[in-house]
Chains A and B, each alone.
Chain A
Amino acid sequence: MSEKATVSITVNGKVHEEEVEPRLLLVHFLREHLGLTGTHVGCDTSQCGACTVHIDGASAKSCTVFAAQADGSEVTTIEGVGSQDNLHPMQEGFWEEHGLQCGYCTPGMIMSAINLLNENPKPTEKEIREGIAGNLCRCTGYQHIVKAVQYAAEKGVVR
């Protein structure tokens, strides 16, 4: 087995220095090493987007990134987006518009949706659907997710 490497990754504003195996995926680093279990794993071919986080401000599927590759990066997970007392407008939108059912895809979906609004603050319905097409949801049929993103766009999302 390969040598372990030390990585320094800032997650939700806090610096973490950890020894990791080179093959450790970022999503497992977040979940197993840091206990941030809000980021989920829904597939093993990077199709579903349940593991979406932000790396240096842009959304990324954390199952396709090794922890070692994220060395020196700033990572934001769903836990860093907002709290129950202080929800991010996108989280608020998902709650108001029933943008989730089982909730498993939701953290990744929210991270992608925030990224979408960062790039395009006033998307059309079509642009929203295309913007979240990398995230699979099996429960909602996406309509209420589209409304959730529209709600957040209406409120104006700041990063």
Chain B
Amino acid sequence: MTAAERPILPKLVGERIKRREDPRLITGHATYVDDLKLPGLLHLAFKRSDSAHGVIKNIDTSAAEQMPGVELVMTGKQLAEILGPMPIGTPFPSPDHYAIATDRVRYVGEPVAVVVAADRYLARDAADAIEVDIEELPAVVDPEKAMQGEPAAVHEGFENNLAVPYVPGGTGVDPATMEVDNSALDKAFAEADVNISQRMTNQRLAPNAMEPRGVVAHWEPGKEQITIWSGTQNPHILKTMIAAQLGVGQHQVRAIAPEVGGGFGCKINIYGEEYTAAAISRKLGAPVKWIEDRSEAFMATTHGRDILAYVDLAAKRDGTVTALKLRLIADVGAYNMLLTAAVPTLTMLMLNGTYDIPVVRAELTEVFTNKTPTDAYRGAGRPEATYFVERAFDMLAHELGMDPADVRRKNFIKKDAFPYTTQMGAIYDSGDYETALDRALQNAGWEQLKQERDQARAEGRIVGLGLAYYVEVCGLGPSASLPTGGWEHAGVTIERDGRITATTGSSPHGQGNETTFAQMLAEQFGVAFDDVTILHGDTGVVKQGIGTFGSRSQAVGGTVLMNAGEKVKKKMAKFAAAMLDANEDDLVFENGMISVKGSPGSGKTFAEVASFAYVPVPLPPGVEPGLSDEAFWEPENNTYPFGCHIVMMEIDRETGEPRLTKVVAVDDAGTIINPMIVDGQIHGGLAQGIGQAMIEEVVYDEDGQLVTGSFMDYAIPRADDLPWFEMDNTVTTTPVNPMGAKGVGEAGTLGSTPAVVNAAVDALSPFGVKHVDMMLRPEKLWRLMQGGGA
């Protein structure tokens, strides 16, 4: 085909390109962890504690050991001989946490023994046959009582159950010494026209990725190497941690994230089951598999949120907010996991919201209780911050009789004030909050909605409008902000046939990186989308990486991919220049050709240049053979995407059942590579944010028993729980990375939750309701309408 006959390749970046991943997923040919089969594969099952808190007196494994097909039974004490306590990723002092409890159990579902058997049914039978004798201790369930040391100590050496005793931040706090000066804070509250004061909870949630966790570990005695397949968001971190825990070199570990069925933060942590599988595979020299049941997941996979706040806001009568103070208490459950202690610090960091508030103070305490440990869950700390701030702003609007949009507009950080350093120390990169607000108000028909609401009220219906604005911290981040390292890695190779193969350390689990990254590289090189392949998730193929969390894939993983591509492109230009007898700076890459600027017919195809690069005769001076390079990159700062969510709600007067009648979202994630995928990310976030507001809540009883232990008692949104989402976006690019992309994975969960609760409170305001804690259980709303407390 001559250059003239070659089709003009379509523009790719910014276009709605169908996903590369989908054909295998829609035909049932994708390979998740549970789909893996290896010869001689053995299966693990864990015996878990039914007690929330107690001393292990005895474990009788004799019956289990004698059951057919059982290879091995190990208690926590036996496993502790080959596996030390698990590492965490935060610098706070932390109690020892063994993969399987050794002497005490501290939450319902904590493993007490593990069985290895020939198939999963036999393993489960044998685990059920283990008899555990536990001497009960009082369960620590209420975090505020726990802080007084009541009714028991979860861990020795952590007085009053304080995991993180007291971290102050914001105005008047010296970050170096942690010394606190209250003068500005006290003055602001003393001089305020209006004070808002409210205790609010951001309740505990179960992440519930549809694929439960799972692991296959295969230690090969001859090679002294282990391959571990896991449903993880970060295979390279898994590799590092497994090597450290097994006491082997990193070269002896290969970690693979195959197809991963959603993560939402709960698959960042490296879990006891993964370490146990690795240690047992090594002990037996055989491959082992463990797959989590859903009812196990409710107990054994980290939970999210669970932060309680005492919120105080000071304002002038015109709506100007002069101070904000939050006392945060995080119930972190029984142990510190990888990022447990860090998540509530992100709540602190984001307490300025989108507002130019002169005085912002936060004080954080993290408390151990006898519950499943918490860790990241979609948004991880930022939805909590947004919720507290946006509820407080709505309460202020209500108090002053102002339009909620006007209160926000009055306090926005102005467009020309960026980069803006907040009182909490965040440096917001860029923003144009008013434009997105105006767009949302316009798309929703805000003024008309208000009239509709008032009309409905006049007819005796219970209707409310809710608006919330958010800013989040994404694109994590410089290494100073991440214990794992805040960079990402990419490799780009032009194959000998001219096709491009790239590797990325951003290991996706539904985000569509194989598509978006191929769009970017194809456009960078001027080749067809189908000629670019993105590899990920295998540390044997992808040399280095961090992983997918904190909405960082595009902002960090995307940037480093372009950097690696640029290096290879420059080298490719040298080969092409030699072939074309041209200056490398005069070349253009387009339509699968490399040509001299101004004479498109004169060029060489990608395949021709690649072929020459791998057999370069003669080798151009100053160039090495081959076309492959890699890059590391970390941003200097995080990115701060933002947006506005508006909802309308009607509550059934007879039953208290809330129903959303409108959801409008305007989000600004900076530059967008694939708007279809971005919409999908926001849709999912909206659903989870609405789910938190309306139907999701992890509940423990007073004995520390988990009573929402299955989908029968823990609801996640179903298709008929949600209305049509009306989507739009503005584009404010970030100077932090060359593409200007900010990130979008978590955004939907931030604005939607407070918007829904704001709508509920607005709907119930004729009943004198000023606040209601989530979730919006119909019974709770019904009681409020009867004049009772929630």
Contacts and interface: CB of A to CB of B under 8 A. Distances in A.
Complex contact flag A–B (Cβ < 8 Å): yes
Interface of A: 21, 23-24, 31, 35-45, 47-48, 50, 77-79, 81-84, 87, 91, 94-96, 98, 100-107, 110, 125-126, 128-130, 132-146
Nearest to B685: A141
Contacts of A107: 26, 28
B211 interface: yes
Nearest to B68: A1
B35 interface: yes
B34 interface: yes
Contacts of A40: 32, 34, 210-211, 261
B252 interface: no
Contacts, number: 183
A24 B121 CA distance: 9
Contact of A42 (B210, B722, B748): B210
A128 B34 contact: no
B27 A91 contact: yes
Interface string B198-212: 000000000011111
Given A38-B28, A91-B26, A102 B209 contact: yes
Contacts of B27: 38, 78-79, 81-84, 87, 91
B719 A142 contact: yes
Q: Which of A94, A98, A110, A144 has the most CB of B within 10 A?
A: A98
Nearest to B752: A141
A42 B719 contact: no
B405 interface: no
A35 B37 CA distance: 9
Contacts of B680: 98, 101, 139-141, 144
A84 B29 CA distance: 9
Nearest to A144: B680
Contacts of A138: 208-210, 262, 264, 684, 687-688, 716
B510 A47 contact: no
Nearest to A96: B18
Contact of A36 (B28, B260, B262): B28
Nearest to B297: A43
Interface in B40-92: none
A23 B28 CA distance: 25
A143 B725 contact: yes
A101 B262 contact: yes
23 contacts: A21-B121, A43-B710, A43-B711, A44-B293, A47-B710, A48-B294, A77-B28, A78-B28, A81-B28, A84-B24, A94-B26, A95-B22, A98-B676, A101-B680, A103-B510, A104-B32, A128-B719, A136-B718, A138-B208, A141-B717, A141-B748, A142-B719, A145-B719
Interface string B759-782: 000000000000000000000000
Given A142-B687, A143-B683, A102 B28 contact: no
Contacts of A47: 710-712
B634 interface: no
A19 to B, nearest CB: 14
A102 B211 contact: yes
A154 to B, nearest CB: 17
A140 B685 CA distance: 8
B645 to A, nearest CB: 13
B167 interface: no
Q: Which of B28, B716, B725 has the most CB of A within 10 A?
A: B28
A140 B683 contact: yes
Nearest to A35: B37
Given A40-B32, A82-B27, A138-B262, 11 more contacts: A21-B121, A37-B32, A40-B34, A83-B27, A96-B18, A102-B262, A104-B261, A106-B26, A138-B209, A138-B688, A141-B684
Interface in B180-214: 208-212
B719 A45 contact: no
Q: Which of B34, B679, B688, B711 has the most CB of A within 10 A?
A: B711
A141 B725 contact: yes
A133 B718 contact: yes
A68 to B, nearest CB: 15
Contact of A133 (B28, B35, B719, B725): B719
Given A94-B22, A142-B687, A103 B30 contact: yes
Interface string B440-481: 000000000000000000000000000000000000000000
Nearest to A79: B28
Contacts of B512: 101
Contacts of A41: 34
B243 to A, nearest CB: 28
Interface of B: 18-19, 21-32, 34-35, 37, 121, 208-212, 259-262, 264, 293-295, 509-512, 676-677, 679-681, 683-688, 710-712, 716-720, 722, 724-725, 748
Contacts of B121: 21, 23-24
Contacts of B686: 141
A48 B21 CA distance: 23
Contact of B722 (A82, A83, A101, A141): A141
Given A133-B718, A138-B684, A139-B262, A45 B295 contact: yes
Dominant SS among interface residues on chain A: loop
Q: Which of A48, A105, A137, A145 has the most CB of B within 10 A?
A: A137
Contact of B510 (A23, A37, A81, A139): A139
A77 B28 CA distance: 9
B710 A101 contact: no
B295 A100 contact: no
A129 B716 CA distance: 15
A105 B28 contact: no
Q: Which of B680, B684, B719 has the most CB of A within 10 A?
A: B719
B378 to A, nearest CB: 10
A130 B720 contact: yes
Contacts of A133: 718-720
Q: Which 4 A-B pairs rank lowest in CB-CB distance, beginning with the nearest?
A: A38-B28, A104-B261, A102-B510, A103-B25
A101 B510 contact: yes
Contact of A129 (B24, B30, B719): B719
A106 B19 CA distance: 14
A113 to B, nearest CB: 10
A75 to B, nearest CB: 13
Contacts of A145: 719
B683 A37 contact: no
A82 B18 CA distance: 18
Nearest to A90: B26
Contacts of B208: 138
A98 B688 contact: no
Nearest to A93: B26
A136 B718 CA distance: 6
Nearest to A47: B711
A91 B210 CA distance: 19
A94 B22 CA distance: 8
Nearest to A110: B26
Nearest to B119: A32
A83 B26 CA distance: 9
Contacts of B31: 37
Contacts of A130: 719-720
Contacts of B35: 31, 37
A101 B680 CA distance: 8
A101 B34 contact: no
A89 to B, nearest CB: 11
A45 B712 contact: yes
Contact of B687 (A91, A106, A141): A141
A77 B26 CA distance: 12
Contact of A87 (B26, B724, B725): B26
A136 B510 contact: no
A37 B31 CA distance: 8
Contacts of A144: 679-680, 683
Nearest to A136: B716
Contacts of B21: 103
B210 A100 contact: no
Nearest to B23: A84
A95 B23 contact: yes
B486 to A, nearest CB: 25
